[in-house]
Structures are given as C-alpha cells and as structure tokens.
Structure 1
C-alpha cells in the first residue's frame, strides 16, 4: 500500500511504461477470440438500437418499437412488439414476453432475441404457420434489459459488469465507486493479477499450470499467490478494486425470494429502474401468458420439482378462492410457494423435452448457474402467475472427463458468470474455486479445441507500481457466457423454432358452440361451450393458489329476463384442448338478441351474438 499523497502521477507514469512486447502478444490473443473481438456480430447499444428500428421500418405492419423505461445512464429499454395488427391489437391477444441481457456481460442474449424477432418478421411472408401464429398472438421482445452493464464489454477497456451502474459503496467507506479496476498492461481487457505471496490462498494447479486452485492447508499446502482484479489501490486502504463501478444486478432485484442485504441485490426490491420498468410493463399488459428469459439462470434442462398442495388449504378452481372459508384462505396464503405446483409440472417437463430437441442441448454444459434469488423468471411464475422459462441460450459441452464438481469451500471467489451467487457485480477477483475435476480446466479444453486457445490470456509478467512483480492474465471477460460469433446464426435459428413452438402453446379461447333451445311459453335454454385450443391452461394451478390471474369471465347482455344463471359467470381453469359449458334460462320473445362475451386475461376475448 502507498500513501494517498504518493499516488497519482508516478503510478500512472509507471503503468504507461509497461512492456510493449507484452502488449503486442496479448493483442494477438484478444483478437483471436471471435466472439468478443471487434466483430459486428455483438452490438453496442447504438448499433442494437439501429437494428431494432430498422426492423420496424421494414415491417411496419408487424413491428412496433417503443421504450418501456430508461437505464441509470439514460439508455432506452427498447421493446419490440410483433404481431399482425390487421387481426387485432397487440393487447387483445395472448402474448409471449421474451427478455434478455439482464446480466450486463451476457450480450449473447440480445443477439438471440433480436435474431428471433428478425426470423419471425421474415417468416410472416414465407411460412403459413408463422403467419397464422402472428394473427393469433403477440410477441413482446426486450433484447437488452441492462444496456449500461452491457456497454462495459464494448469500451476501450472491457470488463464484466453484471449489474447496472447505479453508484454503490461496496466497501462501506462512505465513498462510492472510488476503487475500480484499471487496464494496467494496456491490452484492452480487465483480467486478473496474481501476486507471489506465501500467505496467499492460491497455488498453481500441477495438472494445468495456467490455472490456480485453492490451497488446502489441512494437507500442509502453502500458498503461492494472492489474486486480485487487475488495477490499483486507488483509495489507499490495502484492497484492490474492491469498490469499482457500482450497480444492482437486475436478476437479483425482483420481489420473489429476494436476497436481503446481499451483494448485488440493492437496498430494496425493484430499486433498479430497469427491473422496475419490466414489472410495470407486465402489470400493465396482463395479456402476457408466458415468458422466456435469456439470462444466467436455467430451468429448461432440469425443471424444478413440484410440491403437493395440502388438502383443504387452497382452492382448486379459479372461483374457489372467493368461495373458500376465511380460515382456509388464511391457511392457504400463510406461506409463499417456493417450488412449482405439481399440477404445473407437466407443462415444464414438456417444455424441457421440446427445448432439448429443438435447440439440441445435451445433459451437461460448462455454463453453471447460481441459485435464483430475486430472479425475474421466478417472479414471473410465483407472483405474476404465468409459465416462465429461463435459459443462458448457449450450452458449450465439456470435451472430456467427469462432471466438474462445484466448489464447496464457501470461500469468496469472483462474481463472474459462473459464480454469480457470490457477488454478481464484477469479475475476476479470484480464480474459479473447484474441487475434483476443475471447471476452469474444462473451459480451457473447450477454448483450445474450438478457439485455438483464445478466451484465456496467458499469465505475463508486469511491474506493478504498488505490488512490484505480478502476473496478469486469466479468462477474457464475457468469454464463458457468450459464444463465438460464428455460432450465433445457428443458435438464433434453433431458438426461433423454440419460441414459435412456445407461442403456439399459449392459451386461446374460442366459442365451441352456442345454442338456443325453446322450452315453451317464451322460455329458452341458452348453452355456451368455451374451448381452450392452446396447450397451456387458461390459468396455471399456482396462479389459482396465488390469486395472480383473474378467472375467465362470461358476460351475457340481453333485454330478455334472466330466469337462471348469472349475468356475470366465472369459469374454472380450462386445460389445453378442453372445453367448459355454462347455461342460462331466459324468458323473452322469439328473435330477441342475446350478446355473449368471454373474457380471459391470458387467453383473449371472444364475442358472439345469437337470437332466441
């Protein structure tokens, strides 16, 4: 550590005098990795906005671009609304909401969602099935939910920023963002520094010298290195880069299983304006019937287990909540649900089967996902009441060896994309800590085979102005969550197929039959049968329990006298391809008009007129 009075000019001059030979060598490696080089496949915000608006200009009959809010730095949260407007307004149809790039470094999500929107727009004129789908439902697509965090992967100096950029005092010293990383060796990336120190917690992995592993002092091992994010101790507190660019991780800021007082979660739920904008949009668009999030969580490979609802503690139909005794209602709502309702599990299992088939996903992936806490996709199911799915979008398979074991040491590690549960704000504070077969070793094998060894910068010596001799290197920011751009076209094609399939499952009500039977003396029986021609039910079982979705309502309007039945009738949830009947007895004159409206929050509205 050096005093604040000594820092500044001398330190910066020392950094500028770094080895030109080291810089040239590193530069070659940087541009060898196609997914994160200067390729046009991954777009900065201006390029992404231009592509989104270009789509709207080319398909004005299908695409509308609006903003649902702004980021901390004032970037628009651009929403693509895609449907055939000649068949009805977007809000009158069941909708699929697709959101991505909740974590700033996960820019592949933006490209996948934009690509899906482009495939749908092009398919409207080429495919009868897509044309029919766009007449029946609406797509709401939000490609970049965290534009500020994403921009940190595109600047002159690039690093992983999972959260937004709301100023934050990470080290509780009454100063925010005062000790962030610096690109000391001038290679354009923020990676790691390993500092020789026998008191350090890491040593070189004997099986793979490029990697570090945690010291096991119970076995008499001694440390070799301390590990820091690349940069300086700007605030003179002996810590390096412990309070860089602040931020709230959007996918830890939603109001379900919210991780109070944890890194990246914010001071309170929905503090992040980007997260609040998403919730406000969905609450204002109740026609959204399912959701797909491209994020660093996962429930499409292994859906969560379900839970059985105790007998007598919760309603089993939409109207049951209203009719249940007060004691039962209190008991039903005493504890929030934390796992899928068992009656909803078949839909998740079917989605997993179809996803694996259409996207081509195996049983293992190198991208690990943390326990969801304050995650969007869980909020959408547990609080908003719709089928909600999450996927990283890319599933690089291990090359060989047994499945890597997760770290069980509990020690503090880097909040990278593969250990987001620890911090989720900045990457590369320490190596990935694993026991047994190393996940980092699996990644190195993948990069060696598919990217010529790029994706990892070899350790290079550097004279640090405060620490002396150090080595700088490690995995490139974003390399382990964003595929090489050569893989994007095929990934987009496959994910577009899954999105089309998922949208075709949305609940869709229709009048199966509407009949009048004369009973004599100007008395008539009116029978209505409503069918759900989708796959998802009109209301999920959990949504019934949580009272998150309004029941399907049938309204009858006529001058005839209503002898039996209600003017406003509520239907039980209608499963996919099933129907439900309701009847009225009326007294009126022959030829008198009766108007019927069936209104389902998630499954559309149909209106019919019949005469007695």
Structure 2
C-alpha cells in the first residue's frame, strides 16, 4: 500500500494508470480496437469471405514469424478443416509449416486425391508464400457458405507449405538486399578466404534502409538522365556522349580485394537445382549444391511427398514474368512427357491463361532455358505428379496491357509515379564514397520490380489460387458407375463393374505407368459366394478380357484414364449381394453395392 500511495503522488504514473484503464474500457466495451466493423455493417462482395474468423491483410508481406502466426490462427479457427504440422527444419532451425486443408469430417484425408502447393524456394521471390497461404485461408474461410468449396474439400486434400526457404526469406526482408538477390539460402560462405563469412555482400552505405544503385558524373559516360523522367537512366547511342557512368549496386569493398558486394554471392547455390532428377554438379548446372537433396529444406519436402502417395498434382510459386511453366527443364527429358500427359498439362494450363490475365503457358527448356535438378522435374518425372511452376508478377498488371518486362523502363516509372506516388523509388542523392569519391545513390527499392505492389497482391493471389483449385479439382474422381449380374447357369454368375473417372487426370500419369512409380489400382469384389475368376475387360462388346490368375477377388488395374473408365468382371459361384470397392493411391477410395 505504501508503494501504491507513493506512485499516486507522482502525476506521470497517475496518467499512465488512467490511460491503461481507459484503453481497457474501450477494448472491452465497443470492440473498436478488436474489430473494425460489426457483422451487420458489411455487405458481402461476391467471391470473398465476408466475416473471416482469421483476419489477414493481403496487401503486404509477412516474415517467417508472421507466416507462422497466420498458419496457427487458421488451424485454431478451423480444426475440422485445417491441421498444422512442421514437416522439417530449415538450415537455421525454422519450422517448415504445412497446412493440411480438407473436410476432416468426410473421409480419410490420407486417401483423398491430394494437391501439394509451396512457394518462396528462392528467397527474393517472396509473394509465393502469400499466394500459397492465401489459398489455405480462402478455402477455410469460404467453406461455410460456398457449396463448391464444401464439395471440393469433401473429395480432395490440399497440402500447403507457404515457404520452403524461410531462413533466406527473413534474410531478404530484414537485411540489406536488392529486389533480385539473394536467390539462395543462408549457408555461410567465405568466398575470398579472409576468414570472414558473408561480410562483403550488400552495404547500405547511406543508411537509408535500401540497397539501390550508384552513379557518378562523367562527361564521357555511357548513360544520361531520361528527359521523360529524371529518376530514370538511359543508355546513350554510339555517337552520343553521356553524363554519367553507372557503378553498380550500392556497396563498399570492405575486404580490399578490389571487388564490391562479392563475398557471399560469388557462389550462390540455388535450391531449385538441388532436386533428385536430372541433377548436375555446379560446373555443369550453376547453382547446384553438394548432391541431390543436400539442402535440409528440399529433403524435408521430398520426404513429405514420399510419405503421401495420394499427391496427384502440385504447384510451386516463383517470380517473376507472368508464366505458367511445365517441364522438362532439360531437352534430354523431352521423352518423359508423352502425348497423354501433355494433353492433361495443356488443358489445365490453357484454362490458367484465362484465369490469370497476362500469364503465358510455357515449357522451361523450350521457351526459357535449360535447368537441371529442378523441383518441377522431380515432382513429375520422379514421382509422376502433374506439376506447374508459376512465375508471379508481370508488368502487364500495371496497366492491363502488354509492356516491357524491364523494371527500369518508363512504364515502371510511370506506374510508380501515378499509382504508387513514388513510394517505390529512392531519389538520387549525393554521397562521398570511400573508393569512388563523390557519387549519387538512388533507384528502385527492393519491394518493386519483382514483388507485387500491395493493391495488386491480393487480386493476383486470388487468380493464382483459382488456378490451383482448378488444378486440384481435376485430380481423379472415381465412381463405381455400374454393377451388373448375368446368370451363366450351374450356379455361376458373371458380375461386371464399370469404374469411371470424371476428371482430367488419370489415376497414374504415363510417367508413373512407365516407371511403375506407384502400385496399380485395386478393384475388389466382396460377396458371400466363391469368386472363381477375375478379369479386366478390354472390349465389352466383343467380350475380350484378360484374366488375372492370382487373387481374382482383387483385380489390379494399371490405370483409370481421365474422363474415361475401366471395366472388370468376375465369375462367382453362389452368393448374392455384391460390393465393389476401388482403392487407388492417387484416385482415392470408393465403393458401391448391389
């Protein structure tokens, strides 16, 4: 009590005490600080959750702690729709979170056809994490009033890993970097042999919080100020004198070796060259690390996928360029994609071009470059999973028309000026550089050029999410369409069953069938009679069948085609009621009785 009396005598403490009481009253009474609007104050916009349990602002980016918090909130708010687990640890010990999204009240999640989604394998390609996380949020928040989502999650399961490079994501966000680097992780590197690790990467020399560009006035320079926009630099023609020379990215030669920003980036491993298909060492494929799955993050994803053979489709999110990519990464693997699988890829990706304006469907090796040891190739060629990699963001989105992909052209500067109000640019300012003397520092911030501006982030996340849902929707959906019985005499019956697949994807891709990656589909007849014979019907009209000599009750089928069917039949002695059950690793389980 004495201490309390002493505090009351001090006006400063009394003001703090009163302020705390007043703040608590506001929070507990009106809820103004907890919820901006009451449910009866809002009107639902079509296609968007109206009163989400988990409120997330999708016009910004989140570091690993922020992603972790959102994942935990989704799992806590929707225990019947979302389960959260860590599928492994990053190099620095961060959790690789995975949200499993399905209707856990309907069926076994482990046997439903699965869709795997991840993002942010490259540290500077950050929005992939938000796009993946938006998908988990949208599925859970829309489930209550959207019949399509209810039916989707009854049939399918989504495995969503927002970031598979959390260490480098945090490094990119919280440390000095440019919009284009680093791509790798944070494994320590001492490239110059001076005993210091990563000490001469990017220096924020003027301490403004941004890594931009350096320029120096030079009457014989090859650059000049753009007359259309003084913030921009343009190269002069061969017969023209410039006013400036560009010195490169902001930085200092800290170790005195004559190079700026080189330590930690002379060799920059690429986690998308570390997968176990078509892997090549670094001297062939630049960026490869020690051996396939030598990085703990990639190894964790591989082990998760191997433990979930129900995954039939996959999506990874990168940036930038506005592309829907499929493999192969190298021309040597052209033969892994046959006509049947390409037809499935083409059908889904063409719909993607409709859903995501400005995005183009391309093949990596043919339309871009050769890349070996990529995630895209391992998922499809190694596991038989239909997989796309979307390169997020395209300058098309700035003015909804085709534009150059150069982030330093006039279209970008115009967009920054009139739509971002020059928030993406650091004005040129003089700086006395210890090596270069009097220079100027300025340029685009790292959050523009590859990353979406805030107001376009949610829109493009929604469209890419819709593409992923369309992709997941077309994983197999099986049905025991028909069970018929024919009396053969002498107490024998012929029982015929037709199993249909109403979606684009077969239960096994051609790559899967060719390499026997996954076991065949099982079609089982259960009856009180004795099953004498079981067979696969090749032509029902001509009565052409192939008998399975062993274990006739459970017929093994190599594949149930997309938008197709298979027919099987049994010869049964005695019995009456029949139950036909289908067990497919990627097609799920169904049964019917007659």
Please report how far the alpha carbon of residue 108 of structure 1 lies from its aligned counterpart in structure 2 after TM superposition: 1.7
CA distance in 2, matches of 1:374, 1:403: 32
SS across alignment from 1:85: coil
Q: Is 1:91 the equivalent of 2:110? A: yes
CA distance in 1, matches of 2:165, 2:325: 26
CA contact (8 A) 1:337 1:382 kept: no
CA contact (8 A) 2:322 2:391 kept: no
Using the size of structure 1 for normalisation, the TM-score is 0.74
C-alpha spacing 1:205/1:116, structure 2 compared with 1 (3 Å): same
Please report how far the alpha carbon of residue 179 of structure 1 lies from its aligned counterpart in structure 2 after TM superposition: 1.7
Q: Give 2:294's aligned residue.
A: 271
Deviations 1:389-416 (A, max 9, x none): 1213333316599864xxxxxxxxxxxx
C-alpha spacing 1:578/1:358, structure 2 compared with 1 (3 Å): same
Please report how far the alpha carbon of residue 440 of structure 1 lies from its aligned counterpart in structure 2 after TM superposition: 3.7
Please report how far the alpha carbon of residue 226 of structure 1 lies from its aligned counterpart in structure 2 after TM superposition: 5.2
Q: Give 1:380's aligned residue.
A: 379
Deviations 1:309-352 (A, max 9, x none): xxxxxxxxxxxxxxxxxxxxxxxxxx644674332223223223
Q: Give 1:538's aligned residue.
A: 507
CA contact (8 A) 1:300 1:355 kept: no
Q: Give 1:235's aligned residue.
A: 255
Deviations 1:455-476 (A, max 9, x none): 2323322111233222222221
CA distance in 2, matches of 1:307, 1:196: 45
C-alpha spacing 1:148/1:307, structure 2 compared with 1 (3 Å): closer
SS across alignment from 1:344: helix
Q: Give runs of aligned pairs for residues 84-483 of structure 1, distance below 5 A.
A: 84-155=103-174, 157=176, 159=178, 160-170=181-191, 176-195=197-216, 203-204=223-224, 210-211=231-232, 225=245, 227-244=247-264, 248-258=269-279, 260-261=281-282, 262-296=285-319, 301=324, 336-337=333-334, 340-361=337-358, 372-397=371-396, 404=404, 440-483=409-452
SS across alignment from 2:392: coil
Deviations 1:45-74 (A, max 9, x none): 212211110111111011001011111111
Structure 1 stretches of 5 or more lacking a match?
1-37, 309-334, 405-417, 419-431, 433-437
CA distance in 1, matches of 2:443, 2:322: 30
C-alpha spacing 1:369/1:473, structure 2 compared with 1 (3 Å): farther
CA contact (8 A) 1:522 1:590 kept: no
Q: Give 1:580's aligned residue.
A: 566
Q: Give 1:70's aligned residue.
A: 89
CA contact (8 A) 1:297 1:370 kept: no
SS across alignment from 1:164: coil
Deviations 1:3-33 (A, max 9, x none): xxxxxxxxxxxxxxxxxxxxxxxxxxxxxxx
CA distance in 2, matches of 1:338, 1:374: 17
Please report how far the alpha carbon of residue 135 of structure 1 lies from its aligned counterpart in structure 2 after TM superposition: 0.5
CA contact (8 A) 1:150 1:161 kept: no
C-alpha spacing 1:153/1:590, structure 2 compared with 1 (3 Å): closer
SS across alignment from 1:554: strand
C-alpha spacing 1:273/1:226, structure 2 compared with 1 (3 Å): same
CA distance in 2, matches of 1:97, 1:495: 14
Q: Give 2:532's aligned residue.
A: 562
SS across alignment from 1:574: coil
Please report how far the alpha carbon of residue 594 of structure 1 lies from its aligned counterpart in structure 2 after TM superposition: 6.3
CA distance in 2, matches of 1:63, 1:214: 53
CA contact (8 A) 1:300 1:351 kept: no
CA RMSD, 1 decimal: 3.7
CA contact (8 A) 2:484 2:497 kept: yes
Using the size of structure 2 for normalisation, the TM-score is 0.76
Please report how far the alpha carbon of residue 303 of structure 1 lies from its aligned counterpart in structure 2 after TM superposition: 6.2
Q: Is 1:601 the equivalent of 2:571? A: no
Please report how far the alpha carbon of residue 371 of structure 1 lies from its aligned counterpart in structure 2 after TM superposition: 5.4
CA distance in 1, matches of 2:359, 2:83: 36
Deviations 1:253-309 (A, max 9, x none): 22334453154332322222111111111111111111111113779557679999x
SS across alignment from 1:531: strand
Give the number of the structure with larger relative contact order, counting CA–CA contacts within 8 Å between residues 6 or more apart: 1
CA distance in 2, matches of 1:544, 1:374: 22
C-alpha spacing 1:481/1:452, structure 2 compared with 1 (3 Å): same
CA contact (8 A) 2:353 2:360 kept: no
Equivalent pairs, count: 510
CA distance in 1, matches of 2:143, 2:250: 49
SS across alignment from 1:498: helix
Please report how far the alpha carbon of residue 198 of structure 1 lies from its aligned counterpart in structure 2 after TM superposition: 9.1
CA contact (8 A) 1:300 1:389 kept: no
Please report how far the alpha carbon of residue 602 of structure 1 lies from its aligned counterpart in structure 2 after TM superposition: 1.0
CA distance in 2, matches of 1:51, 1:401: 34
CA contact (8 A) 1:307 1:340 kept: no
Please report how far the alpha carbon of residue 249 of structure 1 lies from its aligned counterpart in structure 2 after TM superposition: 2.8
Please report how far the alpha carbon of residue 555 of structure 1 lies from its aligned counterpart in structure 2 after TM superposition: 4.1
CA contact (8 A) 2:278 2:372 kept: yes
User: 167-176 or 136-145: which moved more?
Assistant: 167-176
CA distance in 2, matches of 1:270, 1:138: 26
CA distance in 2, matches of 1:75, 1:186: 29
Q: Give 2:574's aligned residue.
A: 589
CA distance in 1, matches of 2:485, 2:459: 54
Deviations 1:431-477 (A, max 9, x none): x7xxxxx8644433332342223323233221112332222222211
CA distance in 2, matches of 1:264, 1:230: 24
Please report how far the alpha carbon of residue 577 of structure 1 lies from its aligned counterpart in structure 2 after TM superposition: 2.7
Between Structure 1 and Structure 2, which shows a larger proportion of strand residues? 2
